[in-house]
Structure 1
Amino acid sequence: MSGIDLLFHSGHITTLDGAGTVAEAVAVADGRIRAVGTNTDIMALAGPGTRRIDLAGGSVLPGINDSHLHLQFFGLSRPPFSIDLSDRAVSSVREIREHIAGQARTRPPGGWIRGWGWTERHLRELAERGSGPTRDDLDPVSPDHPVLLTHFSGHAAWANSRALEIAGVTAATPDPDGGRVVRDPATAEPTGELHETAVALVADRVPEPTPAERREATAAAMAELNALGVTSVTDPVVTPPMLRDYLAMHRDGALRTRVTTLLNWTWPSVTTSAATIDEAMRYAGTGSGLGDDWLSIGGCKLFADGIPALRSAWMSRPYDDGCCGSLVTEGGDDAQRLSSLATLIETLHRHRFQVQVHATGDRACDGVVDALAAAAEADPWPDARHVLIHANLPGERAMKLMAAHGFVANTQALIKWQVSDALRGVVDEPTWHRNIPVRSLLDAGVVVADSSDAPVTYPDWRQGVETLVLRRTRHEGAVSGADQRLTREQALRAWTNAPAYQEGRERTKGHIAPGALADLTVLAEDVLAVDDEELHAVTPVMTVVGGDIVHDAR
C-alpha cells in the first residue's frame, strides 16, 4: 500500500470503536484513515513521502466534536470585539468600570461598548450588597457611550442609562413575552438588568459587526479551538448573515473546523413565533442535511424556557423566591405556551428539519419531549434524531420516550462545573444533585452528547470530560450527584461518538477506523492512564482535520 500522507506510531490510538480497541499506530491518506494496527504493520505502509510522527507514548483520539458551541459568538465575545468579563478576567465591578472607561477614551461619543461573560457570584460588590447589577454601576464612566454587557449565559444583559435611552426602555415599557425588565421596586424605573427576551430591546439597537469583522472573529475562534484539539462544532444559533459568512469562508477554504449549523431567525430574541417559522419554511427550500463534510445544515434551534441561574427555567418545584419560571414561547398561560411550542416543533418536523430545543427546567424538558414524540408519532421520520438541549431535568417517562424515538440529549458538564456552587440553595437539594442526569439518560438508552455551549463556558473539553467522570463543582469541589458519574470511556464518547450520531455522521466521524475521516486529536499523555483528577490537564499537541495538520505544538 502506498500514498500514506501521515503516520502516527508508538502511542495509544484510542479508537473508541465500541470494542475498546487501542492500537499502536494509525495511517492517514487522502483525508481518511487508511489503516489502524501495530507499529510493525502500519510502519510497513510508509512511503518516501510519508510524514512519520512519533507519539512517544502519547495518545490519539477521534477528533473532539463540540456539539453545541456558538462559534461566531465565541469569537465576537472576546477581544478586540468585546471586553472579556469572564471570571478569568475580572472579579469586581470596579474592574469592569476600568475596562469601560478605557474603551470610552478610544471611541467617539455615541459608539457602543460591548462586553461578555459577567457573573453575579464573581463580582465582589454584587456579592457584598446581595443584589444585581445596575446602570448606576456603569454610568459614571460612560455618560456618552451606550454600554451593553452580556451575562455569561447569554440569557441576560446589563445596560447603562445611555443604552436604555437609545432603546426607549423606561418605566412605561412593558415586559415582553418571555422576558423581564428588572425594575427599581420604589420607582418602577429599569435598573439596567434585562432577562431573556427583554435583552433584545437593547441588543437590537447595537450595530451589527461587519462581515469582515465576523469572519475575522470566526477564524480566531477556530484557531483557538484547534489548539484545544477540537475538529468539529455544531453552531446552535445561525442567522442568515452568519450562514452567509460560513459559506464565504468555506468557498475561500478558510474553515479549520467542520461546522454543522442550526438555523434561527429570531436571535437575539429567544421567542420564535409560529408566523416566523411558517414564513421561513415558505422560503427555506431545504431541510436537514444540505451541505458537505465541512459545512452543513443540521437543523433548527428553538428555546422552550430560560435557565435556573436566572430562575427562568420552567420548574415544577419553586425556586428560593417562590417562582417556578415559565416557557418563553408565545401565549398568555402555560397551556397556550405549550401549544405554541408543539406547533413550532410539528412545523419544523414536517419540513424535515432536525429540531433542537433548549430546555432546562423539569417541566420544560418533559413538555419538549412530549411535543417531539407527538410530532414523530403523527409523522414518522426515523432519522430525525431530534435533540433536547441541556436536558437538565427530564423525568423518567421523558427519558424512555427519548430512547424509544432515538432522540439525543445534548448536555453541558462544563456549565454544571461552572455554576453548581452558585445554584445550591436556589433549587432544592435533590434537584441540585440530579441536575444533568447523564448516567440516568444513558441507562435509559438515550444517546448523550456533551458540549461547551461556548461562550457560556470556555470550550475546554478536557474539563468537561473530567466533570462527567467526577461530578465535582468548580470552586468548592463538592460532588453533585455521585450516582450520575460516567466512566472515562463514556465521557470520551460523549465528545466524539455521540456528537457524530447527533449529526447523522456516525459512520464517518467519532471513531478511528479505516474509511473514517482523518480528524484526530493528539495528546502528549495516554488519556486512558492519567488520574481522573488530571483529565483537565492532558496536553493537546497536534490537531488534524481531514488529514491536514491545523495545530502543532510539539
Structure 2
Amino acid sequence: MPTPPPADLVLTGGTVLTFDPDDREAGALAVADGSVIGVGDVGHLVGPDTRVVDLHGRTVLPGINDSHLHAAWLGALWPDTLLGGGGMGGEQAGESAGPLVADAEARRAAILRAGEVVSRLGITSYTEPGLGPGEDGGRTGCFSAAVLDEYTALAAAGRLNARVTVLRLFGELDGPSSLADFERGLATPAPEADPRWLNVTGVKIFADGIPPMRSAWTHRCYHDGTSGHLLVDGAQDTEREANLRRMIDLAHRAGAQIGVHATGDRSIETVVSAMADAIAAHGPAGRHYLIHGDLVSADVLARLPGLGIGLNTQPGIAAATGPWLAAALGDDALREAWPLREAFAHGVPVCLSSDAPVIEPDWRRWVAAAAERIGATPGPELMRRLLRAYTVNPAVQDGAESWKGSIEVGKVADLCVLEANPLELAPADLPHVGVAMTVVGGRTVFEQS
C-alpha cells in the first residue's frame, strides 16, 4: 500500500460519529486534498504543515445535508421566514414589493448569503428543489433559470460553501404546469458543472397544493365541500391525472430523477402509481421521491421501499401547520398526517429537511420535532436514525452515497463539529447544542471563535 500523504487537517481529542455501515466511532480523523485519509489512529499522518485541532471532547458528524432548501429564496429573505410571523406569504415572500432578486448581482448575493447561513449550521450540502423557466416570470425571482445560471458561475469560480443538487422546474412554483411546457423543458440540456459541487439530477413536479390552503387533492372533503385537484393542466380530474402520468413517464424514460410535491392522499397515490408503472415499463431509473407527503397512507408507505421511492418530509412544518390542517380536514386527518414512525418502520428511505425559508434551516430543531412526532422513547438508536435522515439518506437521494454522507476513508471531508455528542442527549436538548466548526471538502467554511 502506498504511504498516505501528510494530512492537511487533523481533528483529535473528541468523538467521530462516522455513520458508516457499521456505525463505527473513533477519536480522531485526518483530511488531505479534500478527502478523509484516516479515521481513528491518525498520529502518523501529522506532518509539519498539518493543522491539528483539539476537539476538547466535541463531536464530529458527517456534514448535514438539507435535502429540500430554497437557498436563493432563503438568502433573499433571511433573517425572515414565511412562517416566522405566524402566517404565510405576504410582503416577506415578495408579493407586494416586486421581485426579491431582480438582477444577476442580487441573485448571486442571495446564493452567497444563504451559503453563509447554512455554513454556520453545519450544512455542507443542500437541494434546490425547483429552478427553471417555469418561474422566469415568478414574483420573487428566486426560482428562475437565471438563478441556476448564477449557481453554475459560482460553482465554476469555486465560490460555493456547500454542495448543491438541483431539480429543474418547468411549471410554476406551487402552481400549474402544462404537459407541453414540461416536454419542451425536459428536452433542453442542463448546465455543465462539476457534479460534486453542482449537480442537476432531475425535475420537480407540483402535483397539488397543501391542505391548509384546501388545494391538496384528497379523498376527504374540506369543510367547504371541495377536495382539491391536481395542478397539472387539464379540464377535469381524468385529463389532469393522465397528463401527470405522462410527465412522470417522460422524465423516467429520460433518466431524470423525479421529485414530486404531493401532499393529499389522492395525489400521492396517483404519483406512486405512475412511478411504479414507469419502473415496470422501462426499468429502474433515478432516485424518485415524494416531497412533503403530508397525508401519505399506510398502504402507500408499504409500497415505497420495494419501488425504491423515497419520502422527503419536514417535521418542522408539520409542527407549525398541524392546527391549520386540522381546521381544513378535521382532527382525524391530523392524527394520520406525517406518519414518520410508520415510514421508518416500513423501511422507507426517509430524508428530513427544512423547506427553508418556509421555516428556518436549523436542522437541530427539526430533528427534535421529528422525535416528538414519532413519540418513541429517546435514546441513541432513535437519534442515529434521525441524524442519518439528515446525512446518509440525503446522500442516497442525491445519488452520491459512494463519495459523501458518511465519514470514511476516500470520501469527501464534509464535516459538522458539535459542542456535544448528540447520541448522549435527549432530542429536545439538541437545538441548544452549538455548531463549532463546518468543513466542506477539507476547507473550513465556519469556525466558532
Query: Cα gap change, 1:440/1:85 in structure 2, threshold over 3 Å: closer, same or farther?
Result: closer
Conservation of the 8 A alpha-carbon contact between 1:69 and 1:453: yes
Query: How far did residue 513 of structure 1 move?
Result: 0.8
For 1:408 and 1:207, locate their aligned partners in 2 and report how far apart those are by CA, in whole Å.
32
The equivalent residue for 1:149 is: 91
Structure 1 counterpart of 2:189, one-letter code: G
Conservation of the 8 A alpha-carbon contact between 2:101 and 2:107: no
For 1:460 and 1:470, locate their aligned partners in 2 and report how far apart those are by CA, in whole Å.
16
For 2:345 and 2:318, locate their aligned partners in 1 and report how far apart those are by CA, in whole Å.
20
**1:189-247 CA deviation, whole Å, 9 max, x = no partner?**
xxxxxxxxxxxxxx8xx596100111011101110100011000110011221111111
For 1:86 and 1:410, locate their aligned partners in 2 and report how far apart those are by CA, in whole Å.
20
For 1:366 and 1:149, locate their aligned partners in 2 and report how far apart those are by CA, in whole Å.
35
* TM-score normalised according to structure 1 size: 0.74
Q: 1:379 aligns with which of 282, 292, 313?
A: 282
The equivalent residue for 2:300 is: 398
For 1:21 and 1:498, locate their aligned partners in 2 and report how far apart those are by CA, in whole Å.
17
The equivalences for 1:429-444 within 5 A come to 429-444=331-346
**1:275-331 CA deviation, whole Å, 9 max, x = no partner?**
11221233x2359x9742011111100000001121111111123333222211111
The equivalent residue for 1:16 is: 19
**1:483-515 CA deviation, whole Å, 9 max, x = no partner?**
799811110000000100001111111111101
Determine if the alignment matches structure 1 residue 252 to structure 2 residue 194: no
The equivalent residue for 2:321 is: 419
Determine if the alignment matches structure 1 residue 65 to structure 2 residue 7: no
For 2:403 and 2:273, locate their aligned partners in 1 and report how far apart those are by CA, in whole Å.
31
The equivalent residue for 1:178 is: none
Q: 1:505 aligns with which of 397, 400, 408?
A: 400
Q: 1:457 aligns with which of 359, 362, 386?
A: 359
Conservation of the 8 A alpha-carbon contact between 2:218 and 2:228: yes
Q: 1:285 aligns with which of 183, 189, 193?
A: 189
Query: Cα gap change, 1:224/1:290 in structure 2, threshold over 3 Å: closer, same or farther?
Result: closer
Query: How far did residue 17 of structure 1 move?
Result: 1.3
For 2:297 and 2:172, locate their aligned partners in 1 and report how far apart those are by CA, in whole Å.
29
Query: Cα gap change, 1:393/1:85 in structure 2, threshold over 3 Å: closer, same or farther?
Result: closer
* TM-score normalised according to structure 2 size: 0.90
**1:28-59 CA deviation, whole Å, 9 max, x = no partner?**
1110111111xxx2223211111111111111
For 1:54 and 1:351, locate their aligned partners in 2 and report how far apart those are by CA, in whole Å.
49
For 1:12 and 1:269, locate their aligned partners in 2 and report how far apart those are by CA, in whole Å.
43
Runs (4+) of structure 1 moved beyond 4 Å? 85-88, 483-486
Q: 2:6 aligns with which of 3, 7, 15?
A: 3
The equivalent residue for 1:103 is: none
The equivalent residue for 2:131 is: 238
Structure 2 counterpart of 1:552, one-letter code: E
Query: How far did residue 71 of structure 1 move?
Result: 1.1
For 1:304 and 1:517, locate their aligned partners in 2 and report how far apart those are by CA, in whole Å.
35
Conservation of the 8 A alpha-carbon contact between 1:365 and 1:392: no
Structure 1 unmatched ranges of 5 or more: 92-117, 121-147, 152-156, 164-202, 472-480
Matched residue SS, 2:205: strand
Query: Cα gap change, 1:208/1:489 in structure 2, threshold over 3 Å: closer, same or farther?
Result: closer
Query: How far did residue 435 of structure 1 move?
Result: 1.6
Conservation of the 8 A alpha-carbon contact between 1:3 and 1:47: yes
Query: Cα gap change, 1:268/1:440 in structure 2, threshold over 3 Å: closer, same or farther?
Result: closer
Which segment is superposed worse, 367-376 or 528-537?
Answer: 528-537
Query: How far did residue 249 of structure 1 move?
Result: 0.7
Conservation of the 8 A alpha-carbon contact between 1:270 and 1:302: no
Identity across the alignment (%): 36
For 2:207 and 2:376, locate their aligned partners in 1 and report how far apart those are by CA, in whole Å.
28
Query: How far did residue 341 of structure 1 move?
Result: 0.7
The equivalent residue for 2:138 is: none
Conservation of the 8 A alpha-carbon contact between 2:82 and 2:88: yes
For 1:254 and 1:20, locate their aligned partners in 2 and report how far apart those are by CA, in whole Å.
33
The equivalences for 1:45-194 within 5 A come to 45-78=45-78, 84=80, 86=82, 88=84, 90=85, 118-119=87-88, 149=91
For 2:376 and 2:221, locate their aligned partners in 1 and report how far apart those are by CA, in whole Å.
24
The equivalent residue for 2:434 is: 539
Matched residue SS, 1:346: helix
Query: How far did residue 85 of structure 1 move?
Result: 6.5
Structure 2 counterpart of 1:33, one-letter code: V
- Tell me which of the two structures has the higher relative contact order, counting C-alpha pairs closer than 8 angstroms and 6 or more residues apart: 2
The equivalent residue for 1:274 is: 179
Determine if the alignment matches structure 1 residue 348 to structure 2 residue 251: yes
User: Larger Rg: 1 or 2?
Assistant: 1
Structure 2 counterpart of 1:354, one-letter code: Q
Structure 1 counterpart of 2:62, one-letter code: P
Structure 1 counterpart of 2:208, one-letter code: D
For 1:323 and 1:221, locate their aligned partners in 2 and report how far apart those are by CA, in whole Å.
39
Q: 2:117 aligns with which of 216, 224, 243?
A: 224
The equivalent residue for 2:207 is: 304
The equivalent residue for 2:416 is: 521
Structure 1 counterpart of 2:156, one-letter code: R
Matched residue count: 432
Matched residue SS, 1:13: strand
Structure 2 counterpart of 1:53, one-letter code: V
Q: 1:264 aligns with which of 165, 169, 174?
A: 169
The equivalent residue for 1:184 is: none
For 2:91 and 2:322, locate their aligned partners in 1 and report how far apart those are by CA, in whole Å.
23
The equivalent residue for 1:32 is: 35
For 1:256 and 1:513, locate their aligned partners in 2 and report how far apart those are by CA, in whole Å.
21
**1:358-413 CA deviation, whole Å, 9 max, x = no partner?**
001111111111111111111112x4211111122222332233211211111111
Query: Cα gap change, 1:388/1:85 in structure 2, threshold over 3 Å: closer, same or farther?
Result: closer
Q: 1:470 aligns with which of 363, 366, 372?
A: 372
